[in-house]
Every structure is written in C-alpha cells, then in structure tokens.
C-alpha cells in the first residue's frame, strides 16, 4: 500500500461519536457511533464501517466494506460495498472471530458510489468520485446522493443527502448541517497479507 494511503487509514481507523452535537441539538442530531476497523485477512486497505445509534449500539443500522486504493494521481479511492447478510456481522468490528468470517462472497459492490479523498493543509476532504452518480433508494424513491467527508486530527464530519433526480428537492439527510464526530478510540490499520499479495 502507498505510504499516503496507510497514513490516512492509520488516522481513520477507530471509534467515533457525535455525543456533544446530539446533546447540544437533540431534535436534529441523533447520537451515532461510527467504527472503522481493518479487516485483517482481506486485501490491505479493506475496512469495515459500522454505523449504529447510541441507543442501540449492538444493532448497527448500516454496515459497509470500504477498500482504499491509491490512484496514479495521488487521490485515495474508496470502493464501497454493502453486505448480502449484514445481520451475520453485527459485532464484527469488535469481535475478531466474527470478522474473520467475512469473505469476498458476502459483499456487493456499490457501483457509482465510490469515494475519493484528497489531503489538503486542513486534513482529508472526500466526496463521491466526480462524474459518477450514486443512486440511493429510500422510502420507495430513487434519489441521487450528495455527500462530503472531512477528517482532521480527531474530528470527522460527514454530510449525506439524497435528492430527487427530477425536482432536485432534498428527500432525506440532515437538515441542520454536518454530523460532527470526535474519535474516542484509535485502532491499528494493519493487514495480515503483504501489499504484493493478490489475495482478496
Ligand atoms: C449513503 N453514504 C451513503 C453512500 C455513501 C456514503 C457512498 C451511498 C452508498 C452506500 O449506501 O454506502 C458515504 N462513503 C461515504 C463516506 C465515505 C464513504 C462519507 C468516506 C469514508 O466511503 N451518513 C452519515 C451519517 C448518517 C448517514 C452519520 C446520517 C444518519 O455519515 C446516513 N448515508 C446515510 C444514509 C445513506 C447513506 C441514510 C443512504 C443509504 C442507506 O439507506 O443506507
């Protein structure tokens, strides 16, 4: 893996909470935990992302596999995947034996939803790859995603919103701006295989 990708993943991996924001602004921001955990036995750069509500931390509401890869232009690309059976991996971020059961066949690539990250003087900025249109079906409607991500030190902020393809009206996502997380715990970004391995 490229040094810059490793450096980004070293910073990213860990647990995050937006507790302060949820306390300050309860009607607009649910209290959420994020966990980014290396999946040690998969290809280097493979990360498990878990999102859960603090009121129900053992039942994540979203589970994704992100795979980081550096492009020739120095941009870090994150390939996004969902799980065929997320209910099989609800404790996988913290439970090694459950995590070890994840294999390539459990994953579904989310086409046109790849992310890209650029390092600037004030940290890492990310969004959906330019030119791609990530369609998200929610509440029976198709929407296109507009998303942003910023990681600087122990602060991570995200904004995900879905819009109607015809009217461009916002159909879901935060009304009151970005979710603002603080990293509460850091985890190693380390994989079993060497970088040159072709294993998945
Ligand atoms: C959707 N959020 C998405 C999608 C992407 C991201 C790519 C569409 C594909 C998918 O379903 O995964 C965001 N992907 C990212 C980001 C990175 C990445 C930021 C960089 C690490 O690789 N999102 C949040 C809030 C939470 C939220 C904490 C608000 C409650 O960051 C919600 N994201 C959210 C929802 C969707 C979504 C509700 C629509 C898809 C769904 O229903 O799961």
- pLDDT tens string 132-183: 999 999 999 999 999 999 999 999 999 999 999 999 999 999 999 999 999 9
The pLDDT of residue 145: 97
Q: What pLDDT is recorded for position 196?
A: 56
- Give the pLDDT of residue 194: 74
Residue nearest to atom 39 of ligand 1 (CA): 136
Distance CA 148, CA 134 (A): 13
pLDDT confidence tier of residue 200, bands split at 50, 70 and 90:
low
Q: Angle at the Cα of 77 (from 61 to 143), degrees rounded to 5?
A: 50
Closest atom, ligand 1, to C-alpha of 61: 43
**58-81 pLDDT, tens per residue?**
999 999 999 999 988 889 999 999
State the distance from the centre of ligand 1 to the C-alpha of 158, rounded, in angstroms.
9
What domains sit in the chain, N to C, each tagged with a CATH number?
3-186 (2.40.128.590)
Please give the number of the atom of ligand 1 that sits closest to the Cα of 172. Answer: 38
Q: What percent of the chain has pLDDT over 70?
A: 97
55: CA distance to ligand 1 center in Å? 19
pLDDT in tens, 12-70: 999 999 999 999 999 999 999 999 999 999 999 999 999 999 999 999 999 999 999 99
Cβ 179 vs Cβ 157: under 8 Å = yes
Helix/strand/coil (H/E/C) assignment for every residue in the chain: CCHHHHHHHHHHCEEEECHHHHHHCCCCCCCEEEEEEECCCCCCCEEEEEEEECCCCCCCCEEEEEEEEECCCCCEEEEEEEECCHHHHCCCCCCHHHHCCCCHHHEEECCCCCEEEEEECCEEEEEECCCCCCEEEECCEEEEEEEEEEEECCEEEEEEEEECCCCCCEEEECCCCCEEEEEEEECCCCCCCCCCCCCC
113 pLDDT higher than 70? yes
Question: pLDDT tens-digit profile of 94-110?
Answer: 999 999 999 999 999 99
Residues linked to residue 15 through DSSP beta bridges, in sequence order? 35, 185
Q: Counting atoms of ligand 1 from 1, which one is nearest the CA of 174?
A: 29
Query: First and final CA of the chain: distance in angstroms?
Result: 14
Q: Which residues line ligand 1 (CB under 6 A)?
A: 32, 51, 62, 64, 66, 78, 80, 110, 113, 115, 126, 134, 136, 138, 145, 147, 149, 158, 160, 179
Burial of 96 (0-12, 13-18, 19+ CB in 10 A): exposed
**pTM for this entry:** 0.94
Look at residue 105 in the predicted model and tell me its pLDDT. Answer: 97
| Mean per-residue pLDDT of the chain | 95
The yes-or-no verdict on residue 193 having pLDDT over 90 is: no
Q: Which atom of ligand 1 is nearest to the CA of 117?
A: 20
Instruction: Show the tokens assigned to 13.
Output: 């991996």
């Amino acid at each position: 893996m490229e040094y810059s990708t490793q450096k980004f993943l070293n910073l990213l991996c860990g647990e995050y909470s937006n507790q302060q924001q949820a306390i300050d602004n309860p009607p607009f921001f649910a209290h959420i935990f994020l966990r980014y955990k290396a999946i040690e036995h998969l290809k280097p750069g493979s990360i498990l992302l878990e999102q859960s509500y603090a009121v129900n931390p053992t039942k994540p509401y979203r589970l994704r596999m992100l795979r980081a890869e550096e492009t020739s232009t120095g941009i870090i690309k994150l390939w996004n995947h969902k799980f065929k059976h997320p209910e099989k991996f609800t404790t996988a971020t913290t439970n090694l034996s459950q995590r070890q059961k994840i294999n390539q066949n459990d994953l579904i690539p989310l086409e046109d939803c790849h992310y890209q990250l650029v390092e600037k003087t004030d940290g890492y900025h990310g969004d959906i790859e330019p030119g791609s249109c990530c369609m998200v079906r929610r509440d029976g409607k198709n929407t296109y995603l507009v998303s942003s991500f910023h990681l600087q030190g122990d602060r991570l902020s995200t904004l995900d919103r879905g819009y109607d393809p015809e009217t461009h009206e916002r159909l879901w996502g935060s009304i009151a701006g970005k979710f603002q997380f603080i990293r509460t715990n850091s985890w190693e970004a380390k994989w079993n295989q060497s970088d040159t391995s072709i294993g998945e």
